[in-house]
Structure formats: C-alpha cells, structure tokens
Amino acid sequence: MSSDLEKDQLIDSFLSNLRIEKGLSANTIKAYSADCHSFSNWLFVKRASVIQKTDEMDIKLYLKSLHGLNLSHTTINRKLSSLKHFFIFLNKKRYVQHNPVINFPGLKNTKPLPKSLSITDVNMLLNAPDCSSFIGLRDKAMLELMYATGVRISELINLQYTNIDLTRSLIKVMGKGGKERMIPFGDNALSLLTEYIEYRRTNNLSLKSRDFFVSQHGKKMTRQAFWHRVKHYLAISGLSADVSPHTLRHAFATHLLNNGADLRSVQMLLGHSDLSTTQIYTHIAKQRLSDMVKEHHPRG
C-alpha cells in the first residue's frame, strides 16, 4: 500500500466515524477533512514523514508554521482541535502508538466578539425589502424569520412547508449533529410568513415544491443567493457592508439577553450544545450596557 493511499484511508476512516457515529454535519466534516489533509501534506513536504510516525516535534513545528502564516488564534485552535480528535481516533484504532497532540493546549482566544446590530439597525434592514414584488416579500419574510428565531442560515434555507406551524407560531429545524429543535416566533414574522404563503398560492409559484423559500423559478434558495440579497439591502439601508446574514443571529441572542432572557433559554433557542458557546453573548450585552451608560449618563 502506498503512503498516499494509506494516508487517505486513515483520514477517510476518521471522517466516516464522525459522520456515522458522531452524527456531525457535512460542513463540520468538511472542515475536519481540510485540516487533516493540510497537516498530512505539510508533514510529507516539510518533514518527509507520514501520519503513523508523527511525534510531538512534528506538531510543534506544524504549529510554528501556522503562526508564520499569520492565522488567527481561532483558526489555529480549530486546526489543533481537529488533529487532537484525529489522533484520538487513530490511537483508539491502534493505527498509532500514542497521541502526539495530547500535550498541546490551545492558544488563548483573541477572537473579537461577534458583530451585532442595534435594534434601530435591525429595523432599517428589515424595512429595506419592497414587498410589492415576490422577491421583496420573500426576502423580508426570510429576514424577519431569521431575526425572530435566531436560526442559522443553513437552517433557514432548508425549511420546508412541513417544518412550519402557523397555528402555534413555531418552526422545526434540524441543527448541527442532526439535533432537532422547535423555535417560537412572534406576530411580525407570522404576518410575513402568512403573506408570503398567500402570494405563492395566488400566483401559483411552485406549489409542488416542499422547500419553503424558493426563487422566482421555484428553485430552492441557496446560501449564496441569500447573502447577495442581504448585501443589496445593506446598501439600500446604508448599513456597514461587513454585516452578514449570520449577524441577525447574533442580534437575536444579544437583544434577548439585553431584555432579560436567561442564558439557558437562549442556548436552547440557538441550538448550542455547550452553554459556554452561548456565554459570549453575555459579554456583548454587558458591553452594550456599558456603552449606553457612557453615552447617556451625565457623568459617564
């Protein structure tokens, strides 16, 4: 067996384990794949070695090379985490004698807080679409629902008619790791969803499609298409161009916490498996309160 073939088989076995036993999403597995192949290629080119012979010096030099690329601590930590899981798997399956990554802690995270939007900014963005057209109505419904529920972009574009309960104002989404959750939404989103459905019925727009949000040609909306629509509305409303669709998810969480929601409830709504992932939003909320005091208090 050639070293290249063996390398690919080891990585493929690891990815299959993530897919079948761990139930991770396709995007997550794709990231693991890229990280493992990147390390394997570096190992072969720079160290003339193979995965089975990896030692701690290899890992140390690899991390040094990543620093040399000026990658963020978040990116380096993700790559390191991928390798840790990879070698845990290899060690468990006895493809390697020991885990060379076990003694390498992650770097201190210097990642800035997620960008959010003020309520005024959100209202400007939500009011940008022209609802007299199908595209404008669909886009406003998507934006309203995303802000009302905090869903991920992938969860939004994958919604089907059967996932929406207008009677109880609930949507059902399939999150990361195949975890299903029910999320309530308010009257504004309900009104837009109802209007959008009625428009599709009246104009006979792809009624046979199970996908809820579709193009004018009845095709399922894509992540890229939605991102282009958001950029269009950012330009119309005069908001920063570095705002992304995901920013509405951050705004959803931040505004809930600012208005008294508890962290555990926000965690459940966002579909975070770990509460520590949600805790970053408490820092955003505290920072906003601090900024508000400085701006409005007479002695701030």
Catalytic residues: 152, 176, 246, 249, 272, 281
Give yes or no for a contact between 261 and 252, defined as CB atoms under 8 angstroms apart: no
Could you give the CA distance from residue 189 to residue 192 in angstroms, rounded to a whole number?
A: 5
Give the count of beta carbons closer than 10 Å to the beta carbon of residue 21: 9
Could you give the CA distance from residue 294 to residue 300 in angstroms, rounded to a whole number?
A: 4
Residue 165 bridge partners (DSSP): 170
Placement of tokens 């007299």 in the chain: 132
Phi, psi of 297 (to 5 degrees): -75, 135
Could you give the CA distance from residue 58 to residue 83 in angstroms, rounded to a whole number?
A: 12
Q: Which two tokens stand for residue 219?
A: 């095709």
Residues 6+ away with beta carbon under 8 Å from 205: 134, 199, 214, 216, 218
Q: What is the 3-state secondary structure (H, E, C) of 145-193?
A: HHHHHCCCHHHHHCCEHHHEECCCCEEEEECHHHCEEEEECCHHHHHHH
Of 121, 140, 120, the closest CA to residue 240 belongs to 121
Pairing mode, strands 164-165 and 170-174: antiparallel
